[in-house]
């Protein structure tokens, strides 16, 4: 077998990831604060899933006269409506604000169906009452909080509480900036976006665990090494894997964004940002934070803990 695969890195790199860590901290803190500010002032462009209201995607065989449809729907006095072309001139996307309660919402959607008439075929109709919207937000937030707590507990048990805390901070960083990006760009935030945010959290934690695992292994091998150097070594040793895996995921996310169609756009856009943020946060948020938490380079502390920790072979 003469064939040898290409190597994404010819040798283990020897980079110092702490060189710019203060700058990176500053950038991360800025991004998080900006996300919080944007969330507080601009809020999120909640889709009907969370805000309640009506969303209708309808199709006609001939191009739609948007002005006429708008006038007809406006005449129903349903409050804020947004009407746009969706994908092509024969397809429309109509959004109507929440009508206050479920009965009013169901009555409104019936009126809209009657007004649009039979020349439209309905591709998608979503009517969500305000009660359901609130519950979905509550359940979603609760699920994510518990999942993060579970991750932190497991990492604290397997590695150290420092690794657990740093890992969760990195996840929060990735999720928060993703949600912040949606807020800044005014992209619609719906249930699929939540699925994307959870995916990002999963991806980010996978990345962090791989490096933490190497840190633990190296702590046992090089007991006297400075913790900062040890982290650098671990990140460098896993760099080929990081570039390979994350590169592959990045490529398929781009494929999803380009070919996935309008329905998957929000999802794939969030994923794209998440892959980039997840890779960055593992190296520039989680790793330096662990170093700070370890009282700056007292390697023997981690070494002693690793000795005592439950190990496997």
Partner 1 sequence: MLYFPKWKIIAILTVIVLGVLYSIPSITPRSFLDTLPDWLPKRSVTLGLDLQGGLHLLMHVEVDSVIKERLDSIVEGVRAELRKANVLYRNLGLRGQAVSVTINRPEDIQRARDIVAQIETGTNVTIEGDRLTIAFTEQTIRDIKSAVVSQSAEIVRLRIDETGTKDPTIQRQGDDRILLQLPGVNDPERIKRLLNTTAKMTFHLMCDQPSDGNNIPVGCFQAASGEAQRDGRNLPTDYVLRRRVEVSGDRLVDAQPSFDQRTGEPVVSFRFDRQGAKQFGDVTVANVNKPFAIVLDNKVISAPVIREPIMGGSGQISGNFQVKEAQDLALLLRAGALPAPVTFLEERTVGPDLGSDSIYAGTIACIIGYALIVLLMIAAYGVFGIVANIALLLNLSFTLAIMAAFGATLTLPGIAGMVLGLAMAVDANVLIYERMREESDRGRSVFPAVDAAFQRAYGTILDSNVTTLIAGILLYIFGSGPVRGFAVTLAIGIICSMFTAVTATKLMCFAWVSWLKPKTLPV
**Residue list 99-118, contact with partner 1 (CB under 8 A):** 102-103, 106, 109-110, 113
- Kindly state whether residue 231 participates in binding partner 1, applying the rule CB under 8 A: no
Of 262, 144, 159, give the one whose Cα is nearest residue 198.
Answer: 144
Please give the residues from 58 up to 77 whose contact with partner 1 meets the rule CB under 8 A.
Answer: 59
User: Rounded CA gap, 311 and 40, in Å?
Assistant: 45
Stretch that binds partner 1, among 25-33, 70-78, 206-214, 224-232 (CB under 8 A): 206-214
Q: Which stretch binds partner 1 (CB under 8 A): 25-33, 124-132, 220-228, 288-296?
A: 124-132
Give 84's strand partners: 93
Does 202 engage in binding with partner 1 (CB under 8 A)? Answer: yes
Distance, C-alpha 194 to centroid of its chain? 8
Nearer to partner 1, 30 or 157 (CB): 157
Contact by Cβ (8 Å): 187, 43: no
If one asks whether residue 249 binds partner 1 (CB under 8 A), the answer comes out as yes
Figure out which of the listed residues 15, 33, 185, 248 binds partner 1, where binding follows CB under 8 A: 248
d(CA 84, CA 86): 6
**Gyration radius from the chain CA atoms:** 25
Give the C-alpha separation, 156 to 146, whole Å: 15
Q: Is 7 in the site for partner 1 (CB under 8 A)?
A: yes
Exposure b/e, 205-230, CB count within 10 A at least 16 = b: bebbbbbbebbbebbeeeeebebbeb
Site for partner 1 in 274-293 (CB under 8 A): none
Supply the minimum distance, in Å, between the C-beta of residue 202 and partner 1. Answer: 5
What's the min distance (Å) between Cβ of 26 and partner 1? 29
Residues between 9 and 68 with contacts to partner 1, criterion CB under 8 A? 12, 57, 59
Bridge partners, 83 (sequence order): 94
Q: Tell me which of 32, 213, 222, 297 binds partner 1, using CB under 8 A.
A: 213
The residue count for binding partner 1 (CB under 8 A) is 86
Place of tokens 């969706």: 86
Which of 155, 176, 233, 289 touches partner 1 by CB under 8 A?
A: 155
Contact with partner 1 (CB under 8 A) among 33, 142, 185, 304: 142
Nearer to partner 1, 31 or 126 (CB): 126
Q: Which residues within the stretch 165-194 sit at the binding site for partner 1 (CB under 8 A)?
A: 191-192, 194
Q: How far lies 273's CA from each of 84, 111, 182, 260, in Å?
A: 26, 40, 10, 16
């Amino acid at each position: 077998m003469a064939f040898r695969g290409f190597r994404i890195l010819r040798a283990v790199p020897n980079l110092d990831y702490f060189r710019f860590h203060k700058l990176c901290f500053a950038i991360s803190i800025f991004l998080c604060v900006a996300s919080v500010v944007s969330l507080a002032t601009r809020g999120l462009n909640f889709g009907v899933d969370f805000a309640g209201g009506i969303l209708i995607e309808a199709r006609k065989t001939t191009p739609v006269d948007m002005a006429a449809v708008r006038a007809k729907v406006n005449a129903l006095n349903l409050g804020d409506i947004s009407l746009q072309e969706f994908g092509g001139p024969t397809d429309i996307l109509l959004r109507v604000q929440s009508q206050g309660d479920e009965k009013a919402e169901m009555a409104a959607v019936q009126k809209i169906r009657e007004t649009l008439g039979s020349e439209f075929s309905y591709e998608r109709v979503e009517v969500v009452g305000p009660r359901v919207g609130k519950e979905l937000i509550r359940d979603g937030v609760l699920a994510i909080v518990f999942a993060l707590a579970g991750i932190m507990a497991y990492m604290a048990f397997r590695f150290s509480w420092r690794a657990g805390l740093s890992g969760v901070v990195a996840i929060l960083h990735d999720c928060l900036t993703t949600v912040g990006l949606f807020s800044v760009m005014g992209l619609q935030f719906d249930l699929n976006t939540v699925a994307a945010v959870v995916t990002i959290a999963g991806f980010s934690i996978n990345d962090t665990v791989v490096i933490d695992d190497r840190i633990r292994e190296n702590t046992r091998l090089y007991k006297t090494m400075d913790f900062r150097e040890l982290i650098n070594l671990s990140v460098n040793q896993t760099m080929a894997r990081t570039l390979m895996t994350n590169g592959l995921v990045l490529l398929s996310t781009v494929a999803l964004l380009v070919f996935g169609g309008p329905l998957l756009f929000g999802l794939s856009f969030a994923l794209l940002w998440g892959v980039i943020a997840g890779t960055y946060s593992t190296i520039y948020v989680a790793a330096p934070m662990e170093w700070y938490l370890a009282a700056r380079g007292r390697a023997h502390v981690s070494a002693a803990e690793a000795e005592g920790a439950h190990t496997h072979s």
